[in-house]
A and B are shown apart, each in its own frame.
Chain A
């Protein structure tokens, strides 16, 4: 399996992207902002196709769109809590823009086969070049480093904003920084698992870790480990069964991990309740 360069690239990029997704996802679950991750995946789609339509590097479109929108959400979140209707409408509108860019791009001839759109939607982890791979490693390491650097105050600010603010934690600034890290990670992960499946790799391993580990820092490390395990298992499965796209295999595995964790957690709790009743 590792004889092929594209598999080696996929494993290297997937390992680091997966770990970053796991860490970001853990905070996303803690902060109950999973919906923001979903929103950013729509934005990633539109950003990538806009870049393609205008003949710019797709990566630039991805990063600019997700980071700008993350900053916008952070800025809005401070002042006004947008309601469901607003959020739903805005993101449907953004997806609509994406469809428009896709049409422009398809007519331009360069993307007549629509393969670029498929890649953005569902990822192309087996198609990464050596340069793509190193960029993925660099972006993921930067995101993880930044996240660990603000880890403890971010947990404090997420759980207990008023007390954290009283102790001098810059709650608003941390939230904004987190959204930017989320945007960069989403942009990078879009290339591996695609805009539509991104949320599975971000949310499922993290939610499983929240259920399995009590200590927050161990839980954080576990989220990254589970996401990496999902990527490795998915890649291996897709290699063994070439008809299954790797992004599908990765997401299915990540979801199964979450289901197993939820089952174990429910089992533990049932056991505790039973013991408490007997005592």
Chain B
């Protein structure tokens, strides 16, 4: 609980998303979240890290407004969440692209639903397709892309609606290892460029330490925030140097020690 208090102690205006006493019981009695309280600072990438069954995806979907909490509340910029909203965008684990639409239309789809004119939304989408490194692929279809490229389209779609909060549900878990590393590096650039709040669900310790400003370590049975870790690793060195940095490796080790009892 001290870690939670620490997060709360930062200035109230710096909190983008605040989860207050959220409990989620699925029909059938499975308790996914129990009285969870956690705050997400503005402009940072916070990872929700934990073993499977700790409710991290459930928490993310409640923040997204895709699931309703059984009790408790979520506020985004001080406003209560009652459903999906313009200020939040979601990046899906399995990409959730429309196979019948081109990369350009997929990336512009959020704007299309908002009723933005075609030329305008295509211009915005092209900008973000470029930003995620897919320039030249605008007219291809999802089945012509690799998994990593599909997820880049998913990210471009979420960025294009210019939401303040980006919710990413294990975005790299369906992507192969080499592509994932490159994608993690590119994500850091996007986080720096966009000044948005990212909430990032992952089950990979290395990934969480590498990409996040802070990591909320969730533990299952009962589901709770056990610790908030700020991996203050050096960002001014090359990605490969970071992965060999003793500080980085120590944090990975420390988190692993905390989690291993739940895996065995």
- Do A and B pair up? The answer is no
Residues of A whose CB lies within 8 Å of any CB of B are: none
